[in-house]
Chain A
Amino acid sequence: MLLSAVAAGETEALEILHRRHAPWLRARLRYRCSDNDQLDAALQETFLAVWRNAGSFTPRPGDSDAGAWLWTIAIRQLISQLRKRANRWIAESEPEPYETIGDASAEDTVLLNIEHGPLGAALHELSPELRSAIQATVLDGLTVREAAEILQIPEGTVKTRVMRAKARLREALTT
């Protein structure tokens, strides 16, 4: 497997991994950050983290490859880039225990077919603020604190928006 070759220190394997995954990760990060420099820095850090930690990858049930794993690294690297830019003078604080909202994996399966299912229509109905709150917490699997950072709103606001969005969606799906 590619990642075990990366873990063994083969730069050729890392090159293949980079070629396969950098384009979509970049496209996806671009929907979350418009500064190309920060984006490229986050991607570079992502692959460096992979280079150092490839051995620790263990696929979750249902993962066909490292895609989901890479994305969780990439989005967290982006947040840490944004944090660096925003609070250069504040020392990195200890990460708090992750507090996620809802069961991401269960909702993933619904999201997989957004376009074609009733959820698509429901999402269309949501305001952009509520939609981005759902996107950050459910689709990107971020903690409340991380979502607050990337959306640049207080944590309390994230929580209320997610609750409101979920209520709207549930309503739309049950009626």
Chain B
Amino acid sequence: MSWHLTHDQLHRYAAHTADDVTAMSAEAHLTHCAHCRSLLPADEDWLDRSWADLRDVVDQPRRGAVERLLSAIGLRENTAKLLAATPQLYRAWLGATVLVLTMALAVAHEVPRGSLLFSITAPVVPLIGVALAYGRGVDPAHSLTSVTPLAGYRLLFLRTAAVLVPALVLCTTAALLMPSVSTLSEAVFWLLPALAMVAGCLALSRWMALSLAGGGVGAAWLLALVLLGATDGLDPLLLFTPTAQASWATALALLAGVVLLRVRAA
């Protein structure tokens, strides 16, 4: 470049006081002259702000597929982030659930009285998921997050929701594919026991780790099945009769009440 803009020209151009022709000349020159560009007075505050705005668009934490999906279906950014950040055990549970339900379906179609397998597994699917979703021992980041303001019930319920939604969808789908099922009401016989057990697990977690509470409730379920199966004249399917359903509903209401009271009191 054989010539450069003068100090005066640069200042007038930057201050927007140059006349049209001088401005055109300055512009034609600046396009190609790094030296004069570097001397052009700049508004540092504006430059910093502008960079901060830009940086926040180009430099963000990477968002996983699940988080993007949750945002896409309209969840708030923070909620999506909290729901997507789940321990790996949760993913393992999701995979195992799909596997077990597929197996139960196959058995139900191939073996006489094979639908029993589905009947006894479906109610515990959400319970296992909840037990693995939150707390020391199952969540590696728990020690880091348990003393944040949002930890405790809010995170616990969020994680429970993250378990219940896929669990209920998967189990209902599987139930509708069962050979003997024809209506939706027949397909959800497992729902009340499942919800009651989840509520029981949440209620118990006041005194023990969530995973332990889940284990306890699950063991009780297993015990009930074994007792009913081993006793003459009784059948595990008694757990799903209309009378039993009424009891499950009552238990669910009571346990949900206990959980809510706890949250209020906390």
Contacts and interface: CB of A to CB of B under 8 A. Distances in A.
Given A18-B50, A44-B53, A124 B21 contact: yes
B40 to A, nearest CB: 5
Interface in A89-124: 108, 111-116, 120, 123-124
Contact of B42 (A23, A120, A123): A23
Nearest to A48: B57
A139 B20 CA distance: 12
Q: What is the size category of the interface that chain B forms with chain A?
A: 20 to 34
B25 A115 contact: yes
Contacts of A55: none
16 contacts: A11-B55, A14-B54, A15-B51, A15-B55, A20-B38, A21-B37, A22-B47, A27-B16, A31-B27, A40-B53, A51-B58, A108-B28, A111-B25, A115-B25, A128-B20, A132-B20
Contact of B32 (A30, A47, A63, A116): A63
B173 interface: no
Interface in A1-47: 11, 14-15, 18-24, 26-28, 30-31, 40, 43-44, 47
Contacts of B30: 24, 28, 67
Nearest to B55: A11
A115 B19 CA distance: 11
Nearest to A131: B20
B232 interface: no
A56 interface: no
B50 to A, nearest CB: 6
Interface in B1-53: 3, 13-14, 16, 20-25, 27-34, 37-38, 40-43, 46-47, 50-51, 53
Contacts of A19: 47, 51
Nearest to B29: A112
Chain B contact residues: helix, strand, loop or mixed: helix
A27 B40 contact: yes
B25 A64 contact: no
Given A20-B38, A23-B47, A48-B58, A71 B24 contact: no
Given A24-B40, A139-B24, A11 B59 contact: yes
Interface of B: 3, 13-14, 16, 20-25, 27-34, 37-38, 40-43, 46-47, 50-51, 53-55, 57-59
Question: What size tier do the contact residues of chain A reach?
Answer: 35 or more
A153 interface: no
Interface of A: 11, 14-15, 18-24, 26-28, 30-31, 40, 43-44, 47-48, 51, 62-65, 67-68, 71, 108, 111-116, 120, 123-124, 128, 131-132, 135, 139
Given A11-B58, A23-B40, A64-B34, A123 B21 contact: yes
B21 A27 contact: no
Nearest to A115: B25
User: Which of the listed residues B29, B41, B58 has the most CB atoms from chain A within 10 Å of its own CB?
Assistant: B58
A23, A62, A68, A139, most chain B CB atoms within 10 A: A23
A148 B3 CA distance: 33
Contacts of B54: 14, 18, 44, 47-48
Given A31-B16, A44-B57, A128-B20, A18 B51 contact: yes
A142 to B, nearest CB: 13
A77 B8 CA distance: 30
Given A22-B51, A23-B14, A26-B46, 19 more contacts: A18-B54, A21-B37, A27-B13, A27-B14, A28-B30, A40-B50, A44-B53, A47-B54, A67-B37, A68-B32, A108-B28, A111-B28, A112-B29, A113-B25, A114-B25, A114-B28, A123-B20, A131-B24, A139-B27
Nearest to B23: A31
Contacts of B13: 27
Contacts of A123: 20-21, 24
B55 to A, nearest CB: 6
Closest 10 CB pairs of A and B: A23-B42, A114-B25, A111-B28, A115-B25, A11-B59, A24-B37, A123-B21, A67-B31, A68-B31, A27-B14
